Structure 1
C-alpha cells in the first residue's frame, strides 16, 4: 500500500478518495446497498452498519471517532517515516524502492486473504461481482497505475525529504481535477480556478524554498502524483457500481502490483536487494510491511467514523504533524518560505475539498 499512499503513500491510499468518497471532489458518495448503484460505498453486505462485517449502531459507538482518527494519523505518518528510514542511505541504507514496494504488496496480498478467511473485515468482498473481463479491463490497468505511483513515490524517498514530499502531494487533488477536466468528467468554474491557482502557487513557493532540492527526486514525485491521480480518475470511471473499501480494493490490486513490480526488479535492482536482506533483517522488513498493512485496516474504520470534512481536516493535521515529525526525527529542514507556501496550499486544499460546485 501508501499514497495517501506502499506504504501506500497512500496511502497514498487517500482515504477520502478511495472509500465512499468522490476522488474528484472529496465529497462522500451516496451509500448503496447493492452492486450496480453508482459510487463505491463502504457498507457491509448484510446490514446498515458502516463498520466492516455489518456492525450495529451499538457496536460502532464502542470506538470513539477521535481514537480512530488518532490511530490512522499515527499509522499514516509512521508508514512514510519508516519507509524513509529504511530506504535512506544515511539511515538503514536499503535503497531498493522497487523491491520494498513489491514486498509490501506481496504482504498485503497474503494479509487480505488471511483477513477474508478468518475475520469479517473483508465481508465487502461478497458484494463485488468480479468477472474475468472486469478484472482484465478494469483491475489490471488500475493496478498498473497503482504500481507505478507506489514505485515512483518510493524512488523519490531516496533523495527528497519527507517534509518536501508532503508539500508536493498537496498538488494531487489539482492533478485529479485537471485529468478529470481533460476527460470531460468535471467542469471548471471560476471558484475552482482560483482554488487551483492557490494550491499551485503554494506548492510552487514551497518547492522554491526547498534547500535540499533534488531534480531527479522531484521528477519521481511528480510522476508518482500523475500516476496516482490517473488511477483515482480511472477508479471513478471504471469501477462505478462496485462497493470497494480500502481493504477490498487492496485485495484485488495488491497481487497485480506485486506481480508487475516483481517483473521490474531484475531490470532495475537485480539481485542486490536479495543479497542485502540479511543486513536489513527480517524483523525490519516484516514490521515495515505490517505498519503499511495496518494503515489500510485503520482506513476502513476511519471512513465509517467520520464525515468527508473531518477526513479532510484529519489529513491536513496528519500532513502538518508528519512535516514536524520529519524535522525532529529525520533532521529535515523547512524554511520560512516553505511554511508560507504550504500554508497557502493547505488552505486551498481545504477549500477544494469543501467546494460544492
Structure 2
C-alpha cells in the first residue's frame, strides 16, 4: 500500500473546528441542565400545589421568579459573574422587557393551572405541540428560516411524543384550555427572549438578561396573584401552611432560577427552537421509563 502523507489542516481550520466542538458541548450541556432543572421544577411545584394543598398557581410561579430576580441581581451586580453592559432606557424596558415578562408570567401561570386539572404525563403530551408554536412564531419574527428539514424534525418529535403519551383517561377541558394557552404564550415568550438576547441591537448576556426579565415577569405574576389569589389565601390561611415547609419554598425558588438560567443559556447559544424539542424528547423518555 503506498504511503499516504498526513494532511495537516491550517491553524485557522483547526481553530474553527475546536470552536465548533466547544459550542456543541456548551449547547448540549445547557440543554441537559435545562431538562433536569425543568423536570425538578415540575415535580416540586406539583407537590406544593397538590400534596401540600396550596392551589395558587400564580403564587407558586412567584416563588421561582422572585428567586431568579434575587440570584441574578446578586450574580451580576455584586459577584460580577457576568458583564453588565449598562442600564437600559425606560422606553426599551417598557416596549421590550415588560412584554416578554408578561408572556413568561402568563405561560407559567397557565401551565401551573393545568397541573391542578391534569396529570403530569398528559401535560407533557400537550407540551409536545410547543415546538410547533415556537417554530411558527420564529418564522413570523424572522428569527428562523423555513426549511423542510426543520419542519420535518419538529413534526417528527411532536408525533413521537404524542405516540408515547397517547394513553390518558382523565381529560379536563379547563386543564386542556389552560395548557394550550400556556403553550402559545411560551412559544411567543421564547422567540421574544431570543430576539432580546441574540438578535437585538442591545444584546444581553444570559445572566444580565435574567436580571431584567425576571423582575418584569415577577411584577406581572404578583399582580395576578394579588388580584386573584390573595384574598382566598388569607381567608383560608394557606400561606401559613406553606410557610411550615420552607424547604419546598427554597426548592421551588432554586428550581425556578435553574430553569430560567439554563433556558437563557440555550437560547443565547443556539435558538428557541433548540429548547422545546430537547425537553420534549426527554419527557418522552421519562414517560416511557415510568410505564
TM class, shorter-chain normalised? 0.7 to 0.9
Q: How far off is 1:151 after superposition? A: 0.7
Q: Is the 8 A contact 1:246 1:296 kept in 2?
A: no
State how far apart, in whole Å, the 2-side matches of 1:297 and 1:103 are: 15
State how far apart, in whole Å, the 2-side matches of 1:200 and 1:302 are: 20
Task: Name 2:36's counterpart in structure 1.
Answer: 74
Q: TM-score, normalised by structure 2?
A: 0.73
Structure 2 residue matching 1:243: 3-state secondary structure: coil
Structure 2 residue matching 1:168: 3-state secondary structure: helix
Task: Give the alignment partner of residue 174 of structure 1, picking from 113, 117, 132.
Answer: 132
Q: Is the 8 A contact 2:165 2:284 kept in 1?
A: no
Q: How does 1:9-48 map to 2 (within 5 A)?
A: none
Q: Is the 8 A contact 2:65 2:215 kept in 1?
A: yes
State how far apart, in whole Å, the 1-side matches of 2:285 and 2:128 are: 14
Task: Name 1:85's counterpart in structure 2.
Answer: 47
Q: How far off is 1:82 after superposition? A: 0.9
Q: How does 1:296-315 map to 2 (within 5 A)?
A: 296-297=260-261, 315=279
Task: Give the alignment partner of residue 279 of structure 1, picking from 216, 241, 244.
Answer: 241
The alignment yields a C-alpha RMSD, in angstroms, of: 3.8
Q: How far off is 1:134 after superposition? A: 0.9
State how far apart, in whole Å, the 2-side matches of 1:92 and 1:278 are: 11
Q: How far off is 1:247 after superposition? A: 2.6
Structure 2 residue matching 1:318: 3-state secondary structure: helix
Q: TM-score, normalised by structure 1?
A: 0.61
Query: Would you say 1:110 and 2:70 are equivalent positions?
Result: yes
Q: Flag structure 2 segments of 5+ consecutive residues without an equivalent.
A: 1-18
Query: Would you say 1:132 and 2:90 are equivalent positions?
Result: yes
Structure 1 or 2: more helix by fraction: 2
Q: Flag structure 1 segments of 5+ consecutive residues without an equivalent.
A: 1-48, 50-56, 58-62, 328-333, 335-357
State how far apart, in whole Å, the 2-side matches of 1:297 and 1:197 are: 27
- Judged with a 3 Å threshold, the aligned counterparts in structure 2 of structure 1 residues 198 and 295 are, in CA distance, closer, same or farther, namely closer
Q: How far off is 1:143 after superposition? A: 1.1
- Judged with a 3 Å threshold, the aligned counterparts in structure 2 of structure 1 residues 66 and 184 are, in CA distance, closer, same or farther, namely closer
Deviations 1:63-98 (A, max 9, x none): 99998776554333211111111112xx22211001
State how far apart, in whole Å, the 2-side matches of 1:295 and 1:150 are: 12
